[in-house]
Structure 1
Amino acid sequence: MAQDSVKEDFVPSSKNQPGKEYPMVNSQGYARFRVEAPEAKSVTVTLGLGGRGGTKLEKQSDGSWMGTTEGPMDEGFHYYHLIVDDGAFNDPGALNYYGSCRWESGIEIPAHDKDFYALKDVPHGNVQQVLFSSPSTGVERRAFVYTPPEYGKTDKKYPVLYLQHGWGEDETAWSNQGHANLIMDNLIAEGKIEPFIIVMTYGMTNNVKFGTINQFDAKEFETVLVDELVPYIDKNFNTVPDKKHRAMAGLSMGGVETKLITMRRPETFGYYGLLSGGTYAPDDLKDSGVGLVFISCGSKENPDRVTSAVEALKNAGYNAVSYVSPDTAHEFLTWRRSLYRLAPLLFR
């Protein structure tokens, strides 16, 4: 799309700092940036179309730098930062989100289907931070726990989904970038799911250097998750503490963790979800007793691999479901949509 056809209906991104006008987005998915850096010699925004080096800003007469992406971006959430001369900086106008092993700026390109993760006037659950002891690592560790709106009003016990982030992210990702709590609130309010708890903790993935993922075996995290966190959650929350009421899923490298851990600990989890995180083969699930296998990705990833893997699982007699997010890649709108479709299938 030519720049001269860009609609001038830009509005501030929903991920901006309070009161900040830039960055802005328009109805076509373009993003526009303005940065105050009067002494800089060059300013580039890392956000841009794939392989094109981001968006170079031009200096204005008032000393600021402005620019618009070369083309429309995929719908949904994106990380980015600024390159000012030779330094990397976050955009002062945008909120920060933990990704790429650092706090990054974030921008939201409004999605046509954003209603399912929108903040609405419905009963809201609670996302609380918990600290749990980890003798295996010698430190107190952190997790975030989503409990549904009705939690604690009766003695009712709930199933639990252990939901993992990707490489470069941490336990804040699914609530902040993924809006997992809002997705759950809306599904519950619409009567589309039976309420359950979600537990999100750091998957210890970021010590693995990018490009060496095949060397990651998740065994240290397996001990933390299965032997330390699961017992803590079952002791401190109203859970149904058995395999049939426990699920594990993860995005990207969190999906790799999910596959490795569920294969080694089939007695712990009864439902598995890989969100842009690989696939299972029928032999991987032998004697697992798994109730559901959910595998998803974006249409710009490798959807044929996902759909063919699920077809093989179905042919082998497993309850398997595939989902391909339209017009998205390895990004959070893929995973928001995946959670939205996975949640109603769990604990049935």
Structure 2
Amino acid sequence: MKEEKGNDHMIKLNFAGIHTRQELHRYLEEKLQLPQSQGESLDNIYDFLTLAAGRLHIIVEGMSRNRSKLGGYLDGVVRSLRAAEAVTEGLTLEVREQMDADKEWLDNPAVVEQSCAYSRPVMVGMGDAPVPVSGQEGLMYRAEGMPYLRLCFANAVDVQIDIGGVRYPFLETDKDVWTVDLPLDPGFYYVHLYVDNCLVLSPFLPIGYGHCRPANYIEVGPMEEFCLMKDVPHGTIRHEYFVSRTTGRTETCVCYVPPGYEEGSGEYPVLYLQHGFGENERGWIWQGKVNHIMDNLLAEGKAVPMLIVMANGMVMTECEAGKLQLRHELFLEELKQDIIPFIEQKYRVKKDREHRAMAGLSMGSMQTSMLIGKDPELFAWAGLFSGFLHNLVGEHPDNSHLEEIRKPEFSRNMKLLFRGMGRQDDFWKNFEEDDAFCEEYSVVCIRREYEGGHDWNVWRKCIHDFLPMLFV
């Protein structure tokens, strides 16, 4: 339907919520009042607009949220509209993007703070944002919101990036300057750069620890509002060292201490929060943003102040031929014998099970399940994010911990058992198997489903939902 804009006609095209090409074709036919089937061809759209009489102003909105669904095709529609605008008198195009209004998120500390320095994202062509200068590298955004990477690799022949198993080829747009458009929805993505088929780490993208090594990742914006740093009281992040009798080494853990702890004298409950396979104790801070999530919940009065302790669950021992083997049972012993006593000796925390919680994502969820089953006296609150009641490790997994969990007294004594997973997670079948287990044995739990896969975008939502349920 055309709207009046002064003496012009104005049409708003909002692509948010359109998931398929067929839906897009029907939408364009309706909004642009095209003849039937004309919306199925970008050339037809161009031809129709260039022949249309009168003055017409077209506003395009809602592109960034659908990039992974429609990808380059959606950008092709905009290119056709721009091409028609260039040769048609009276036709004007305005591309609006939610990101344009919210671009202050680009400078939010939750986005730019990382374990290593890197180039901040740049919004090219939006407001007073500069065009990239020579040598500038990193994640950038085009005027219509399309994220892209601009990186320099001298004398490279082939540059590609792997995101979730999909490879995107770069184009050399200037000498030694390589760019690639990324048709991605907003969110967190691990990325793997290949230069002439060699895996490399870029210092111009954020670096975390994942996949058992330092790894680049990107935040395609805008970031979820609950993850951003806001003008609220902030907790502190402490890096602690403790002697582990379990491993015979000095180990580390990371502690979130809530605002007000230093000024007060009261005791606090504790959440022991675990990462997934191939990550480490820093993951929930750099990738998970749990400190900002907790700060915001506390400021909104939605959570009880607590310490959050994050330890390295990848406890390894040397086996034959000098190889390292992951030992889940050793981490469980370390948590019981070393980490909990260390925290309870150093910090003002409550020391009973009603004021201890444990949660984890993926591998960390299995560790949580094992511990609440084998040592039910330790924790009264538990969270399993994209994870499992059953142990999936090994050819013949040890699931003896389920004997305790299936008992009626387990559910009577647990204050909370939270289970959450993304609907597109590759482990969804395992989630449903745990559903059946809970139903068969009347295990009481709170169950949440999310849009997304096995990644930090889901785990951030899990922890955001889980924290307000604790210690209430």
CA displacement at 1:187 relative to structure 2 = 0.4
Match of residue 85, structure 1, among 179, 196, 200:
196
The 2-side partners of 1:303 and 1:82 are apart by 29
The 2-side partners of 1:192 and 1:61 are apart by 51
> Counterpart in 1 of 2:46?
none
Tell me: CA distance 1:267–1:125, structure 2 relative to 1, closer, same or farther (3 Å).
Answer: same
Superposition pairs of residues 1-348 of structure 1, within 5 angstroms = 1=70, 3=72, 5-6=74-75, 14-15=111-112, 17-18=118-119, 21-25=137-141, 30-47=146-163, 50-52=164-166, 54-69=167-182, 71-73=183-185, 75-110=186-221, 114-204=224-314, 218-279=328-389, 284-286=405-407, 287-288=409-410, 289-301=413-425, 306=431, 309=434, 313=438, 318-326=443-451, 328-348=452-472
Deviation track 1:209-268 (CA, whole Å, cap 9, x = no partner) reads xxxxxx966111111111110011011111110111101100011111111122111111
Deviates more, 1:82-91 or 1:137-146: 82-91
The 2-side partners of 1:167 and 1:178 are apart by 14
> Does the CA-based 8 Å contact 2:405-2:443 persist in structure 1?
no
The 2-side partners of 1:27 and 1:134 are apart by 53
Deviates more, 1:271-280 or 1:300-309: 300-309
> Does the CA-based 8 Å contact 1:279-1:295 persist in structure 2?
no
> Does the CA-based 8 Å contact 1:160-1:247 persist in structure 2?
yes
> Does the CA-based 8 Å contact 2:162-2:193 persist in structure 1?
yes
Tell me: CA distance 1:34–1:304, structure 2 relative to 1, closer, same or farther (3 Å).
Answer: same
Between the two structures, name the one with larger relative contact order (CA 8 Å, sep ≥ 6): 1
Tell me: CA distance 1:119–1:230, structure 2 relative to 1, closer, same or farther (3 Å).
Answer: same
The 1-side partners of 2:147 and 2:237 are apart by 31
CA displacement at 1:178 relative to structure 2 = 0.3
The one-letter amino acid of 1:17's match is Y
The one-letter amino acid of 1:32's match is Y
CA displacement at 1:60 relative to structure 2 = 2.3
Question: Under a length normalisation based on structure 1, what TM-score does the superposition of the two structures give?
Answer: 0.86
> Does the CA-based 8 Å contact 1:144-1:172 persist in structure 2?
yes
> Does the CA-based 8 Å contact 2:257-2:308 persist in structure 1?
yes
Deviation track 1:125-153 (CA, whole Å, cap 9, x = no partner) reads 01101111112211111001111101132
The 2-side partners of 1:181 and 1:133 are apart by 25
> Does the CA-based 8 Å contact 1:57-1:67 persist in structure 2?
yes
The 1-side partners of 2:177 and 2:313 are apart by 40
The 1-side partners of 2:436 and 2:144 are apart by 36
The 1-side partners of 2:465 and 2:377 are apart by 25
The one-letter amino acid of 1:236's match is K
Tell me: CA distance 1:83–1:134, structure 2 relative to 1, closer, same or farther (3 Å).
Answer: same
Deviates more, 1:179-188 or 1:317-326: 317-326
SS state of the match for residue 278, structure 1?
Answer: coil
The 2-side partners of 1:234 and 1:311 are apart by 37
Deviation track 1:178-233 (CA, whole Å, cap 9, x = no partner) reads 0111111000000011111100010025779xxxxxx9661111111111100110
The one-letter amino acid of 1:67's match is V
The 2-side partners of 1:124 and 1:61 are apart by 44
Deviation track 1:103-139 (CA, whole Å, cap 9, x = no partner) reads 1111012257x11111000000011011111122111
Tell me: CA distance 1:147–1:116, structure 2 relative to 1, closer, same or farther (3 Å).
Answer: same
SS state of the match for residue 81, structure 1?
Answer: strand
SS state of the match for residue 449, structure 2?
Answer: strand
Gaps of 5+ in 1: 209-214
Deviation track 1:151-183 (CA, whole Å, cap 9, x = no partner) reads 132221111000000111100000110011111
> Does the CA-based 8 Å contact 1:271-1:290 persist in structure 2?
yes
SS state of the match for residue 238, structure 1?
Answer: coil
The 1-side partners of 2:297 and 2:248 are apart by 38
The one-letter amino acid of 2:229's match is L
The 2-side partners of 1:119 and 1:325 are apart by 23
Give the paired residue count.
335
Tell me: CA distance 1:21–1:60, structure 2 relative to 1, closer, same or farther (3 Å).
Answer: closer
CA displacement at 1:62 relative to structure 2 = 2.4
> Does the CA-based 8 Å contact 1:307-1:322 persist in structure 2?
no
SS state of the match for residue 257, structure 1?
Answer: helix
Deviates more, 1:153-162 or 1:6-15: 6-15
CA RMSD of aligned residues (A): 2.9
The one-letter amino acid of 2:460's match is R
Question: Under a length normalisation based on structure 2, what TM-score does the superposition of the two structures give?
Answer: 0.65
The 2-side partners of 1:293 and 1:29 are apart by 40
SS state of the match for residue 254, structure 1?
Answer: helix
Tell me: CA distance 1:267–1:320, structure 2 relative to 1, closer, same or farther (3 Å).
Answer: same
The 1-side partners of 2:447 and 2:307 are apart by 23
The one-letter amino acid of 1:72's match is L
